[in-house]
Amino acid sequence: MGPNLSHLSWGLLFVIPVVIVLLALLGIHPLVSITLLGQVLLTSQVTIPTLAIALALNVGGALSYLVSPFEGAIVLTIKGK
- Domain ranges for the chain: 2-80
Query: Which of 51, 57, 55, 14 lies closest to 36 in space, CA to CA?
Result: 57
**What's residue 81's pLDDT?**
54
**pLDDT value for 1:** 45
- The contacts found for 67-70 with CB under 8 angstroms, 24 or more apart, are 67/21, 67/24, 67/25, 68/21, 68/24, 68/25, 68/30, 69/24, 69/25, 69/27, 70/24, 70/29, 70/30
**Predicted pLDDT of residue 67:** 81
User: What's the pLDDT at 78?
Assistant: 67
Percentage, residues of the chain above pLDDT 70: 74
Determine contact, residues 64/33, Cβ cutoff 8 Å: yes
Average pLDDT, the chain: 81
Dump pLDDT digits (tens) for 32-52: 999 999 998 888 877 888 899
Model confidence at 80: pLDDT above 80:
no
pTM for this model (two decimals): 0.75
